Amino acid sequence: MVYYVCMSYTVKQLSRLAGVSVRTLHYYDEIKLLKPTSIGTNGYRYYDEEALIRLQQILFYRELDLSLDEICRVLENPDFEVISALKNHKKSIKGRIDRLQNLIKTVDDTIYHLEGLKEMTDKELFKAFTEEEQEKYAVEAEQKYDPEIVRASNRKWKSYTSDKKTRILAEGNQIYIDILAAMPKGSDSAEVQSCVERWRNHMNYFWTPSLEQLIGLAEGYNSDPAFKKNFDKIDPHLTEFMLEAVQNYVKNASKVKP
């Protein structure tokens, strides 16, 4: 027979247990995201197992980058079911683990390559950037402008054959490789500007950005953590250099506009 002892935790105890600050727990109470199970005569908040499970769900969803408002809506949904949610969390976390393991291997291989300990092809430099990631990058900036553009871009991408998608991704990777090789010559050099022109034309496989949107996309490489984190694995200066190169490209292109 299993005997279960139900424990209640104060805010301070729960803070230590879950690794969140007391202030955070107070705020969750304030916005009605995580209410204490009871309030003692001493004014202390107490949390039981049900509250602990809810806090665990909140922290899981925070790991998945949901806002507190979104988490509240999910947890308050009448159809919300803890076991199903945990299974979905497990699936999402495993996907992230696989993704991070691929990135770690690519980083290690790149280090060995730069140290002369391992040969690495240009294609292998970018093997951790999956088709799904490339597609996400190509359309993410569009969301700042028009949702219909996003939908049209997705339709366009899905219309390509598998072989064509492979060729498109290889072409995009080659552009970044060529930019890396030309970086020492400066962002306004003819070699880099030629790469930016190719990059702009490459975007036509997904959507056709204006000059202003090109800058927005390059800024996204710097400001969006998902963009920057992945490109930093290749070269920590790539996104910053890319933005500068695109700004020079747009400035030059604007001068020749009729």
* Residue pLDDT, tens place only, 181-239: 888 899 999 999 999 999 999 988 888 888 888 888 888 778 777 677 777 777 788 88
- Spelled out in words, what is the top-level CATH class assigned to the domain 129-255? mainly alpha
* Residue pLDDT, tens place only, 101-149: 766 776 676 676 667 766 655 555 555 555 555 555 545 544 444 556 6
Q: Quick check: 245 pLDDT over 80?
A: yes
Q: Same topology for domains 9-77 and 129-255, yes or no? A: no
| pLDDT, mean of residues 59-79 | 83
CATH of 9-77 among 2.40.10.10, 1.10.1660.10, 3.40.50.300, 2.40.128.130: 1.10.1660.10
Q: pTM of the full predicted structure?
A: 0.47
Provide the residue ranges of all domains of the chain, joining segments of one domain with +: 9-77, 81-120, 129-255
| pLDDT, mean of residues 142-162 | 67
The neighbouring-strand residues paired with 38 are 46
As a whole number of angstroms, the longest Cα–Cα distance in the chain is 85
